[in-house]
Amino acid sequence: MKPWLRLTLLFVLAVAVVHVATVLVMPRAIMAIAFDRIEKEAGGTNRLIHQQAITVTNQRIVRSSPDLAYSVCVIDLSGGPVRVRLSKGSDYMSAAFYAADTSNFATFNDRAFEGAAFETLVLPLGSDSGQVAGKAIQAPSSRILLLVRRLAPDPARFKVADAGRAGDICETAVGK
């Protein structure tokens, strides 16, 4: 094979391999950074933190909405199932679960909540959900993220949403 042809093919191969590898790694790498940042802010995993109204000075995630009250919990299932309980407000709210590859694998909004709250047990991959009483979801990775959104397009409604989420829970269920 002529040297220039060999080098050209090597170049194309290197471009293709690294391009694809970069694209595949990017979501997990970005999500890992987000996990670490949120975990640090919360003081650990399996702890729900309530963010203040998103402004120019406190925004951390790209394209955050200034019209929503966010609560977030990095869920670590290495120690067993995690219990989530979210009070139902008077406005739109949703609980969205994200895998380590950023995919939004489960979402529940207030229209689907039964009763005054949303309660679920988040199970590690491979768990037998048939053994669990009540609602349970199985996570596709050992670390996932719960993001709660509550509609809060103005200060008055933010105050209502903030009060409504005061009793929300995201905690290890083992032993409880």
The residues that touch another protein, with contacts defined as CB under 8 A, are 3, 7, 10-24, 26-27, 30-31, 34, 54-56, 59, 61-67, 92, 94, 96, 98-99, 101-105, 107, 109, 111, 145, 147, 151, 153-154
| Cβ 134 to another protein shortest distance, Å | 23
CA atoms within 13 A on the CB side of 124: 10
Q: What is the CA radius of gyration of the chain?
A: 20
- Work out how close the CB of 158 gets to another protein at its nearest, in angstroms, rounded to a whole number: 12
Decide whether 60 or 135 has the Cβ nearer to another protein: 60
DSSP characters over 124-162: -TT--GGG-SS-EEE-SSSEEEEEEEEE--SHHHHHHHH
For another protein, the closer CB: 58 or 174: 58
Residue closer to another protein by CB (options 112, 163) is 112
Q: How far is the CB of 26 from another protein (least distance, A)?
A: 4
Q: How far is the CB of 150 from another protein (least distance, A)?
A: 12
Query: Position 4: which residue type?
Result: W
Q: For residue 139, what are its two tokens? A: 């996570």
Q: Which is nearer to another protein, 13 or 174 (CB)?
A: 13
- Beta sheet of 169-172, edge-to-edge order: 136-138, 117-123, 82-87, 169-172
Angle CA 139–51–142, to nearest 5: 15
The set of residues, in sequence order, having a beta carbon less than 8 Å from that of 57 and lying 6+ positions away, is none
Q: Which residue's CB is nearer to another protein, number 77 or number 93?
A: 93
State the minimum distance, in angstroms, from the CB of residue 45 to another protein.
17
